[in-house]
């Protein structure tokens, strides 16, 4: 079974998915960050593949992408860094990024590499569903990769149902109409939206992302979904950390309410 | 199936096009896709659009026989005077069309990107005309090199926001405009300034600009007794003025379509924006097209003296015209464009925009015969570029 499905089946509390930009704060930090996230208790890890033009991302993630690229990160180098991923990390790992670097690497070759190093799924926000179904689905599935789709407060019910039928693993529920890191906290209007989707009885579980930054917003979001995703708040911590491992473990434990 | 240069029902021109957008933009782009043709084809829309083009923009723009230029190059040169459009460039043909679409869709705010500032000015102008709120993103570097247009936008009531990310030019202004749209999905329409972006933008913008070749056909008939030229020349940044000048000749085999790209300091210099020479297939700003990028798929910062051509991609329609050989592409350096700008000024009394000067610079390379008719789309006027001309042409 794909590790992502296994996590949702066995989870006791809300699931915490943390996003970290690869090669950030320093090019060689990728594996250190992943191991510390696992040690702290993250249930799923999303590794951001840096891109020069990340239109769905706000300033914090944009800048981390640029820093990583300036330090020499490439798709090929990332796979090199993840060579021993499954010796050290057991939690599910997703790669999140934009479609162009994947196209240039070669879609099939990319998926093959993902399977080789033990990546469980992909989040490619600018790969639309129709395109995925006609050109990519067969290849992704051949290499055991889940493709994670996004929904937003503006996504029509009918489209949510279609996305649900194509999805595997979970649906990434964007908490508000925004880029990443634009807002923090959860309003009562957002809670209504979370609950509305919760009532749809979708086949896939949902994780809520965008604007989740601390234990309070994590719990609020998890009340109407299986868990939540923290991105910009964690990247900010990485940018300012002087003791990477300790800081990450403390941060993750704090969100999960572990001692 | 016969080769077609028009967009297909999936939003593709051959292998190029599509709508590679994050889900956050899907409802807006889908709304536009499902409505744009009905809106545009509606007779009341057409009337309002053409009335404004006539009474506000000043169309039709003249087709001017450039006699001294013709004599110099031993051919028959006609200039399509888009520089005489209100606001100084062809960009306004598109913004008039799109603001009317935005109103039909019930949007009351407009966001746009701009490079040279011409599209920003054209957007700010129609927003003032229609009383809609206007935000324009412009690269921080372009804000500096196109200061007069920044002042014009502000005078017209638009908010100009500096894009400080990446190369701080048109590509980054486009990223910021898209991010703004993601954050304001309900009340805002994004007026893209060229034939780029996700489907249906390239097709919609091409349709609004197609008035250029529609007029050329009628004007040529009157002047030379046939409705097609042997060549149509236009510069390509994203490619909207070229799309408009080519549109009604796409299936006219007797007309050669010629595009001028900005080579900057030369295509091998590392400071260039000549996409068809330096790019390969990739995805940027919502469509698959030719794109200047690294082997790793990171977008390369382009360079051109002309802010309006300083873009790492071209519209998917042009990528298809290039790939099929329907259009011929020339790379024009900064120096060649400057020389042609000076030449046109002194031979014909017209100071062209730096962008348009790239199209003019194809003329010495074209080797057109004396019996042949060459139409050059003069996309804009040079007022905004005077500081550059002053400096680079030693006008002291
Ligand atoms: C006068 C003029 N011509 C051409 C362009 C390039 O745009 P496009 O290739 O879309 O016509 C610009 C862009 O700002 C412009 O101002």
Q: Is B113 in the active site?
A: yes
Q: Beta strand pairing status for B109-114 and B133-139?
A: parallel
The Å distance, Cα B376 to ligand 1 centre, comes to 14
> CATH topology for A15-147+213-253?
TIM Barrel (3.20.20)
Interface of A with B (CB under 8 A): 51-53, 55-56, 58-59, 62, 66, 69, 74-76, 98-105, 125-128, 131, 149-152, 154-156, 159, 174, 177-179, 182
Residues 182-201 of B with CB under 8 A from A: 182-186
Residue B38 has pLDDT above 50, yes or no: yes
Dump the DSSP string for B261-278. EEEET-TTTT----HHHH
Q: How many residues does chain B have?
A: 396
Q: How much is the pLDDT for B1?
A: 45
Is the ipTM above a cut-off of 0.90? yes
Pocket, ligand 1, Cβ cutoff 6 A: B 89, 115-116, 118-119, 194, 235-242, 308-309, 353, 355-356, 379-380
The Å distance, Cα B379 to ligand 1 centre, comes to 7
The dihedral sign for the CA sequence B278, B283, B286, B287:
positive
For residue B179, give the nearest of A125, A232, A64, A58 by alpha carbon. Answer: A58
User: What are A157-168's pLDDT values in tens digits?
Assistant: 999 999 999 999
Q: What is the DSSP letter of A226?
A: S
Cβ-based contacts under 8 A for chains A and B: 106
**Do B185 and A154 count as a contact with CB atoms less than 8 A apart?**
yes
Q: Which residues contact B85 (CB under 8 A, 6 or more apart)?
A: B57, B58, B59, B61, B92, B93
**Do B286 and A53 count as a contact with CB atoms less than 8 A apart?**
no
Instruction: Pick the range with the lowest mean pLDDT from A44-53, A182-191, B175-184, B260-269.
Output: A182-191
User: What are B134-157's pLDDT values in tens digits?
Assistant: 999 999 989 988 889 999 999 999
Q: How much is the pLDDT for A183?
A: 78
User: What are B297-338's pLDDT values in tens digits?
Assistant: 999 999 999 989 999 999 999 999 999 999 999 999 999 999
**Do B179 and A179 count as a contact with CB atoms less than 8 A apart?**
yes
Q: How much is the pLDDT for B299?
A: 97
Q: What is the average pLDDT across A216-231?
A: 96
Separation CA A95–CA A247 (nearest Å): 23
Q: How many residues does chain A have?
A: 259
For residue B375, give the nearest of B360, B358, B393 by alpha carbon. Answer: B360
Residue B119 has pLDDT above 60, yes or no: yes
Band of pLDDT at residue B267, cut at 50, 70 and 90: very high
Structure tokens at B144: 């500096």
- pLDDT mean across residues, chain B: 96
Q: What is the average pLDDT across B221-237?
A: 98
Residue A20 has pLDDT above 50, yes or no: yes
User: What are A108-147's pLDDT values in tens digits?
Assistant: 999 999 999 999 999 999 999 999 999 999 999 999 999 9
Q: How much is the pLDDT for A244?
A: 98
Q: What is the average pLDDT across B42-70?
A: 98
For residue B28, give the nearest of B200, B193, B172, B174 by alpha carbon. Answer: B200
Q: For chain B, report the end-to-end CA distance as a whole number of angstroms.
A: 59
Contacts of A178 in chain B (CB under 8 A): 24, 182-183
Band of pLDDT at residue B246, cut at 50, 70 and 90: very high
Percentage of the residues of chain B whose pLDDT score is greater than 90? 94
Residue that is written with structure tokens 């074209």 in the block: B366
Residue B3 has pLDDT above 80, yes or no: no
The Å distance, Cα B37 to ligand 1 centre, comes to 24
Instruction: Identify the bridge partners of residue B96 per DSSP, sorted by sequence position.
Output: none
**Do B20 and A128 count as a contact with CB atoms less than 8 A apart?**
yes
Question: All domains of chain B, ordered by start, with CATH?
Answer: 13-52+91-204 (3.40.50.1100), 58-89+210-392 (3.40.50.1100)
């Amino acid at each position: 079974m794909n590790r992502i499905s296994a996590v949702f089946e066995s989870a006791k509390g809300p699931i915490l998915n943390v996003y970290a930009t690869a090669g950030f704060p320093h090019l060689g930090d990728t594996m250190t960050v992943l191991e510390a996230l696992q040690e702290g208790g993250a249930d799923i890890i999303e590794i951001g593949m840096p891109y020069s033009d990340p239109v769905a991302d706000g300033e914090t993630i944009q800048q981390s992408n640029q820093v990583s690229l300036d330090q020499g990160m490439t798709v090929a180098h990332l796979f090199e860094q993840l060579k021993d991923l499954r010796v050290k990390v057991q939690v599910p790992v997703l790669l999140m990024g934009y479609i162009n670097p994947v196209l240039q690497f070669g879609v099939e070759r990319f998926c093959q590499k993902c399977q080789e190093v033990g990546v469980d799924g992909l989040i490619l926000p600018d790969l639309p569903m129709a395109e995925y179904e006609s050109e990519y689905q067969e290849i992704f599935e051949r290499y055991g990769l889940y493709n994670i789709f996004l929904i937003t407060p503006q996504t029509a019910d009918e489209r949510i149902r279609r996305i649900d039928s194509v999805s595997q693993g979970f649906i990434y529920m964007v908490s508000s109409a925004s880029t990443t890191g634009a807002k923090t906290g959860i309003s009562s209007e957002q809670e209504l939206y979370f609950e509305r989707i919760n009532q749809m009885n979708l086949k896939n579980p949902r994780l809520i992302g965008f604007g989740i930054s601390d234990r309070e917003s994590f719990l609020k979001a998890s009340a109407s979904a299986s868990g939540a995703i923290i991105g910009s708040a964690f990247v900010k911590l990485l940018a300012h950390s002087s003791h990477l491992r300790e800081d990450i473990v403390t941060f993750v434990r704090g969100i999960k309410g572990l001692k | 199936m016969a080769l077609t240069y028009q967009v297909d029902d999936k939003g593709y021109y051959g292998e190029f096009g599509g709508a590679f957008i994050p889900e956050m933009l899907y409802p807006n782009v889908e709304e536009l896709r499902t409505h744009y043709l009905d809106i545009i084809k509606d007779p009341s829309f057409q009337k309002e659009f053409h009335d404004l083009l006539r009474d506000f923009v000043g169309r039709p723009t003249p087709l001017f026989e450039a006699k001294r230029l013709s004599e110099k190059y031993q051919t028959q040169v006609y200039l399509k005077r888009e520089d005489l459009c209100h606001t100084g460039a062809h960009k306004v043909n598109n913004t008039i069309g799109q603001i009317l679409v935005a109103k039909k869709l019930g949007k009351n705010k407009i966001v746009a990107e701009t490079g040279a500032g011409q599209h920003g000015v054209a957007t700010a102008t129609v927003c003032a005309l229609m009383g809609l709120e206007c935000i324009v993103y412009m690269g921080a570097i372009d804000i500096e090199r196109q200061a007069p247009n920044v002042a014009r936008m502000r005078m017209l009531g638009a908010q100009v926001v500096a894009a400080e990310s990446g190369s701080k030019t048109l590509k980054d202004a486009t990223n910021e405009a898209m991010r703004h749209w993601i954050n304001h999905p309900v009340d805002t329409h994004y007026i893209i300034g060229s034939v780029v972006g996700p489907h249906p933008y390239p097709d919609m913008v091409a349709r609004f600009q197609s008035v250029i070749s529609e007029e050329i056909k009628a004007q040529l008939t009157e002047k030379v007794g046939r409705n097609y030229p042997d060549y149509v020349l236009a510069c390509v940044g994203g490619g909207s003025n070229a799309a408009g000048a080519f549109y009604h000749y796409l299936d006219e085999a007797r007309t050669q379509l010629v595009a001028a790209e900005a080579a900057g300091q030369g295509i091998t210099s590392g400071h260039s924006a000549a996409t068809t020479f330096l790019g390969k297939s990739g995805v940027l700003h919502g469509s698959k097209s030719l794109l200047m990028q690294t082997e790793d798929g990171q977008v390369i910062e382009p360079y051109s003296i002309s802010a309006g051509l300083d873009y790492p991609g071209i519209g998917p329609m042009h990528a298809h015209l290039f790939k099929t050989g329907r259009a011929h592409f020339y790379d024009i350096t900064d120096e060649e464009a400057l020389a042609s700008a000076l030449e046109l000024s002194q031979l014909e009394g017209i100071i062209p925009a730096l962008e348009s000067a790239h199209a003019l610079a194809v003329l010495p390379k074209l080797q057109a015969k004396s019996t042949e008719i060459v139409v050059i789309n003069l996309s804009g006027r040079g007022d905004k570029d005077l500081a550059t001309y002053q400096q680079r042409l030693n006008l002291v």
